[in-house]
Amino acid sequence: MLTAIKEIGSLYDIDAPSKKPSEAKVILIRINTEKQAYEGTEIEDFDSQKLDLYMFKEGRSKGNVPSPFCPLTEASRTLKKIQAWLNNCVKIKADNLSDSMPLVNEALNTIKSHKDSIISDISQVSESIPKKTRKFLTLKINNKYPGQYQIFKKSIESMDERKRKKSLSIGTCSICGSPNKEVSGTTDVFKFYTIDKPGFITGGFKESDAWKNYPVCSDCKQSLERGKKFIEEHLNFRFYGLNYLLIPELIIGDWTLFKDIVSVLAETKQTFSLTEVIRRRLTDDESEILEYLSSMKDTLAINFLFLQKQQSAERILLLVEDVLPSRLKRLFDAKDYVDNTFGNGRDKGFNFGSLRVFFSKSDDNKKTQDLNKYFLDIIDNIFRGEKISLQFLMKFFMPVIRRAINKDDYFGFRVSDGLKTLLYLQFLGLTNIKEANPMEKGLFEDFFERYGKAFNTPAIRGIFLLGVLTQLLINKQYAERGSKPFLKKLKGLKMDENDVKKLLPEVQNKLEEYDSFNRGKRLIASEASKYLLEAGNGWKMSADEINFYFACGMNLADEIAKTSY
């Protein structure tokens, strides 16, 4: 993956400013070194075109790290960062710039002399800015920004170089594979690890051995930085509360063609984000370009990197490597199958949102999405073609469906989400559902065949049809009484095999009481009885599976009723 990012960086000389919040304010401490005077503060709108003038670099201003441009928290603490940075500039001997050192010293002394006034002014100005607006603090020396002085630029370069040399050695670059090169272990393009803790350093406590973890030469580091910047700017996508970077990688072919492809991908995302044309999507991102990628030849592989930023560090949530366009096409074929099966009714087709419904929060009252790991594991299996246990899925499907029926809220949609997900995985061959023995064709054979393996055993069909009959009874009760008392008989959809078998005569008797056990319902009851008898005893199904298929029958009752009548 890192090699792919490096190759993209090699193709592009990217110098576009990072996207920063446009609604932000910068407070400038105005210093006049010629008069050794503090001339107050001024405030300006944040300007992304001035990043070089601000000397801003992502990550440099985090925590207590000295920096010339800092997010403003507490006035005194933030000012200390700028003072510490000026102190570091004094300590570094910048070549051929010794004549400029007095300017640095005078700026530092002026701040020290007027520290209390500066802190007071910063606090006062900060209070005038709305609380939700981001605030930054920096210097303006003799009406110039820090980035307009060579002494400060050289000092920053020297600081970075000194940090890099702490773990510098001669070795083989882990990216390009070139031997006998000067490599460093402090490459911080991606902050997957840190060398300030002994456990992260090869060999234990020696920081000088850190280069062995992740040796990268200077050329590759620059390419990695450019590649990452390009990908974050152009190939960064949303994924149901998460984010992923889409990283294309050339397998075979011409590098010129690869550059064209990457450029088109970046442009296509922008085009999709502006268009109102309805396209096939698997995620909630309107700029998603997976369908476009699925039309390409397998000369290209796609990597999906799900990252979570935690302060100044980054954590890999999931890395899916080497997904071919042909695999993406297969995923869209599965989507088309599910969409065609469900038609154009209230369900708008399958996407990974149908799956996310069950793998977001274990409880609606949770503040965080605590099921992200399971969700990403399943996404990984789908992209790589790995099997997913049906029993595992049902453990997450049913709590959501039970909550929906208990609250009388989105029950039908949640059942549809579960069934769509099941059909999608079955089309891809990812479930552990076995081929069933041939059954005698019944009245609703066309319906069951349309749903493939979803209803492929007598027990499942019997449970499903009983769910249909039960829903028709509940509809009758609600029409006549304005309530659904029979729902209590369903035990909150926690029924076992015996409960289901006892339920059929109860439903029939209740329909007789309502004088509603007509020919159409009798046909459904007859088919349900036939399949349940054929299934015999000991279905070898969990309670979650039994109740899921029962809920499917309740949700699709209208379709079966049309056929029976």
- Name the percent of the chain in helix, strand, coil, to the closest 5: 55, 15, 35
Distance CA 93, CA 62 (A): 25
> Residue-wise over 33-48: b if at least 16 C-beta within 10 A, else e?
beeeebeebeeeebee
pLDDT of residue 557: 95
DSSP string, 32-97: ETTTTEEEEEEEEE--GGGHHHHT--TTTTSTT---SEEE-SSHHHHHHHHHHHHHHHHHS--TT-
Grouped pLDDT means (10 residues each) for the chain, 565 residues: 86 53 83 91 89 73 68 90 85 62 88 93 92 89 90 76 65 84 70 50 51 75 86 90 91 80 80 58 87 90 88 81 95 93 68 94 89 95 95 96 91 95 95 78 90 91 97 94 93 96 95 93 95 93 96 94 89
Distance CA 546, CA 497 (A): 7
pLDDT of residue 22: 55
Residue with tokens 């200077």: 218
For residue 64, what are the CA distances in angstroms to 29, 80, 191, 290? Answer: 19, 9, 17, 41
pLDDT of residue 160: 66
pLDDT of residue 344: 54
Q: What angle do CA 554, 559, 565 make, to 5 degrees?
A: 110
**How many Cα atoms occupy the beta-carbon half-sphere of 202 within 13 Å?**
11
Residue 165 token pair: 């040399």
> Residue-wise over 168-198: b if at least 16 C-beta within 10 A, else e?
bbebebbbbeeeebebbbbbbbbbebebeee
Three-state DSSP class for 538? Answer: coil
**How many Cα atoms occupy the beta-carbon half-sphere of 255 within 13 Å?**
7
SS (H, E, C) 292-337: HHHCCCCCEEEEEEEEEEECCEEEEEEEEEEECHHHHHHHHHHHHH
For residue 537, what are the CA distances in angstroms to 210, 459, 500, 524, 532? Answer: 64, 9, 12, 21, 9
Distance CA 519, CA 525 (A): 10
pLDDT of residue 97: 59
Contact 102, 86 (CB under 8 A): no
